[in-house]
Amino acid sequence: MALEFRSVTKTFTTNSGDLLTAVKDVNFVVNEGEFVSVVGPSGCGKSTILSMTAGLYQPTQGEVLVSKERVTGPNSHVGFMLQKDLLLPWRSIVANIEFGLEARGVAKAERRERALRELRHCHLNGFENQFPYQLSGGMRQRAALARTLAIDPEIILLDEPFSALDAQTKLLLQNSFAKTISETGKTTLLITHDLAESVLMSDRIIVLSERPGTIVAEIKVDLPHRDQPIKRRMMPEVSEYAAQLFKHLKLEEKAA
């Protein structure tokens, strides 16, 4: 088991001193090599779940385990990638990918070798000496994924990495990420607003209720081609899964 949430509740104290429960009694596991998405209404605690997995916040109750060890702070078992690529503009692409390794004291030759390997995994061969401003949005996101993979984490956390892109770039990038993640066999947790994306990319989808977020459904996506969302997109079953998600999120009722 790569990741486990055991009866996790997170309560924040707001600036005005009120208590706000973001997620309540959340229990789930993510198995090794599995790709799991978390969907739910805005503000239901999706990012809070990622932050607790990364060790940025501690649960108020319950515990989070990565590779059976309790998460007590930021650690190298977990790689985090955000919507914004956060590449350093003054560093070349390869130097950006090396950044996390440098911070961990990995020797220069090994750093370069690992960075170039992830660059190839993320289909950025030939762009190693370019700077972030010379790359398209999709390529920058691939570079950010390469940087996350370079530290060889046990789990990759993706927080809406495709949400700022146009529809076509998004689909190509989803495909590219899916392929890379599948090749590397990494356990992945994706947070997304996009229900279709969760069906196209996941083995399983966790659906959260409105705040305080509790799990209202876990849906196994029984479709082939997890490594090729473009192929999944052609399958009629995708809209059936999306309809199930709609129902669990009570979207029709809300629209009425």
Q: How many chain residues interact with ligand ATP (CB under 6 A)?
A: 13
Candidate ranges 42-50, 80-88, 110-118, 194-202; the one touching ligand ATP (CB under 6 A)? 42-50
On the CB side of 161, CA atoms within 13 Å amount to 31
Indicate which single residue of 17, 19, 42, 236 sits in contact with ligand ATP (rule: CB under 6 A).
42
Enumerate residues 204-243 that contact ligand ATP by CB under 6 A: 211
* Spatial CB neighbours of 193, under 8 Å, sequence gap ≥ 6: 39, 42, 160, 163
**Distance (Å, whole) CA 161 – CA 5:** 23
**Which is nearer to ligand ATP, 40 or 79 (by Cβ)?**
40
| Binding status of residue 44 toward ligand ATP by CB under 6 A | yes
| Binding status of residue 47 toward ligand ATP by CB under 6 A | yes
| Cα dihedral 178→183→187→193 (10° resolution) | -10
- The single-letter code of the amino acid at 119 is L
Tokens of 217: 């459904």
The single-letter DSSP state of residue 15 is T
Q: Scanning the structure block, which residue is given the tokens 């104290």?
A: 13
* Spatial CB neighbours of 6, under 8 Å, sequence gap ≥ 6: 27, 62, 63, 64, 65
Q: How far is CA 100 from the centre of its chain?
A: 18
Indicate which single residue of 45, 59, 138, 229 sits in contact with ligand ATP (rule: CB under 6 A).
45
| Binding status of residue 14 toward ligand ATP by CB under 6 A | yes
| Binding status of residue 48 toward ligand ATP by CB under 6 A | yes
| Binding status of residue 12 toward ligand ATP by CB under 6 A | yes
| Binding status of residue 22 toward ligand ATP by CB under 6 A | yes
Show the site string, 163-202: x = touches ligand ATP by CB under 6 A, - = not.
----------------------------------------
* Spatial CB neighbours of 239, under 8 Å, sequence gap ≥ 6: none
CB of 134 to ligand ATP, least distance (A): 30
**Which is nearer to ligand ATP, 12 or 70 (by Cβ)?**
12
**Which is nearer to ligand ATP, 28 or 131 (by Cβ)?**
28
- If you write DSSP's letter for every residue of 93-116 in order, what string do you get? HHHHHHHHHHHTT--HHHHHHHHH
CB of 41 to ligand ATP, least distance (A): 7
Indicate which single residue of 46, 179, 226, 232 sits in contact with ligand ATP (rule: CB under 6 A).
46
Give, for 208, the enclosing helix (H) or strand (E): strand 204-208
**Which is nearer to ligand ATP, 45 or 100 (by Cβ)?**
45
CB of 66 to ligand ATP, least distance (A): 19
Contact residues: ligand ATP, CB under 6 A: 12, 14, 20, 22, 40, 42-48, 211
